[in-house]
Amino acid sequence: MFRKTENEQLELFKDISHQLSDAASKRLEDPSAWNTVFYNQYTSKIKEQPYSVLYSSNHGRPNVPVRMLLAMVLLKELNGWSDIQLFDECMFNIRVRLALGIRKLDTKAPGSSAYYEFRAKVAQHLELHEQDLVEQTFSQICAS
């Protein structure tokens, strides 16, 4: 079932930046920090609606946020990470989690099954419909 990502409401004691010292929080939230730039220029600009065609409209569990999965794909390629490195970075690296839009400590990063299922659905859609959703997303972001 397709579900559009809603912005997380921050909670005082679960927000990552509130768990750090003032100096560390300031560096983490710096507008020029790579994680902030990545989130603002890429992750937050992803339009998820085109990906609704990959999911059932009336049954099944809701999808993992598409913008997080696409951000994971890009981070993996940009950094030359293996799949295992990608999942470790998403689980334990605060900057990577913020780049994905994960601001709460208790929010789980997308796991391997969601990641692989998403990639398979995108590839199958490309094969069946000759429509490259990822290319369209990159073009849309670069044009804005």
Using pLDDT thresholds of 50, 70 and 90, give the confidence band for residue 2.
Answer: low
Predicted confidence (pLDDT) per residue in 61-91, tens digit: 667 899 999 999 999 999 999 999 999 999 9
Burial of 95 (0-12, 13-18, 19+ CB in 10 A): middle
Considering the domain boundaries, does residue 61 fall inside one? yes
> Are the C-beta atoms of 122 and 134 separated by less than 8 Å?
yes
CA distance 71 to 20: 25
Alpha helices for the chain (secondary structure H) = 22-28, 34-41, 66-79, 83-92, 94-100, 112-129, 133-143
Q: What is the pLDDT of residues 8-65, one digit of tens each?
A: 555 545 677 677 888 988 998 999 999 999 999 999 999 999 999 998 777 776 678 9
In a domain, 10, yes or no: no
CA distance 72 to 14: 22
End-to-end CA distance of the chain: 29
Residue 5 lies in a domain: no
Domain for residue 9, yes or no? no
For range 85-103, the mean pLDDT: 96
For residue 105, is it within any domain? yes
Q: Write down the pLDDT at residue 106.
A: 87
Domain with 25, as residue range(s), is 16-143
Strand partners, 15: 104
Task: Give φ, ψ of 103 to 5 degrees.
Answer: -110, -15
2 domain-assigned: no
The predicted pLDDT at position 21 comes to: 84
Instruction: Give me the number of domains the chain comprises.
Output: 1
Q: pTM score, two decimals?
A: 0.85
Type of residue found at 96: V
Q: Looking at the domain assignment, is residue 32 inside a domain?
A: yes
pLDDT at 35: 97
- C-alpha 11/C-alpha 15 separation (Å) is 6
**pLDDT confidence bin for 3, thresholds 50/70/90:** low
Please indicate, yes or no, if residue 114 is contained in any of the structural domains.
yes
